[in-house]
């Protein structure tokens, strides 16, 4: 949904669920796109908030700074998703992620959604 009234100018909210091809899991996505940042929640089989990560590009190099704000560790799937999104978009990312550990097939499917939905839909709509 992109609206200039109720949600304010330049605000885009996208929510959807997708049945995973693997593990019989349902993936839930809530993505809020603001002017120069994306807030996203990705959940698996429940509405739990999960771990919260913040990621941003560094000004001096082509690297990304990622930190865990609530729970999790820097080597978690959520921090990896946040890092890849920053590298692809150049935007600040705040990501809440409730994806089970040790699910490599689910991680592969998450990468497909990152590129097709989180990046293409949201970045192309807001060129600076």
Residue 63 belongs to some domain of the structure: yes
- Domain with 81, as residue range(s), is 2-123
User: Is the predicted pLDDT of residue 31 greater than 80, yes or no?
Assistant: yes
Residue 52 belongs to some domain of the structure: yes
pLDDT interval class at 9 (50, 70, 90): low
Give the per-residue pLDDT at 123.
Answer: 53
Residue 81 belongs to some domain of the structure: yes
Helix 104-113 to helix 77-89 angle (10° resolution) is 20
Residues 41, 30 contacting (CB under 8 angstroms): yes
**For the chain, percent helix, then strand, then coil, each to nearest 5?**
25, 40, 35
Gap between the Cα atoms of 37 and 6, Å rounded: 19
Gap between the Cα atoms of 100 and 106, Å rounded: 9
Phi, psi of 2 (to 5 degrees): -125, 120
The CA-based angle 115-116-121, given to 5 degrees, is 105
Q: Helix H segments across 1-128?
A: 77-89, 104-113, 120-123
Residue with tokens 């049945």: 19
> Does pTM surpass 0.85?
no
Provide, rounded to the nearest whole percent, the portion of the chain with pLDDT above 70: 77
Domains in the chain, number: 1
Model pLDDT for residues 55-114, shown as the tens digit of each residue: 999 988 889 999 999 886 666 788 888 998 888 888 899 999 888 877 778 877 777 777
Give the per-residue pLDDT at 64.
Answer: 94
Beta-strand pair 92-98/37-44: parallel
28-32, 50-54, 86-90, 118-122: the lowest-pLDDT one: 118-122
Residue 128 belongs to some domain of the structure: no
CATH number, position 46 = 3.30.230.100
């Amino acid at each position: 949904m992109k609206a200039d009234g109720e949600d304010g100018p330049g605000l885009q909210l996208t929510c959807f669920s997708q049945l995973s091809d693997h593990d019989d899991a349902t993936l839930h996505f809530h993505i809020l796109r603001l002017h120069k940042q994306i807030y996203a929640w990705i959940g698996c089989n429940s509405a739990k908030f999960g771990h919260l990560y913040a990621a941003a590009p560094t000004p001096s190099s082509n690297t990304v700074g990622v930190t865990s704000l609530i729970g999790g560790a820097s080597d978690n799937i959520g921090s990896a998703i946040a890092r890849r999104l920053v590298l692809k978009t150049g935007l600040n990312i705040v990501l809440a992620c409730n994806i089970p550990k040790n699910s490599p097939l689910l991680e592969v499917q998450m990468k497909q959604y990152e590129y097709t939905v989180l990046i293409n839909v949201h970045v192309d709509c807001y060129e600076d």
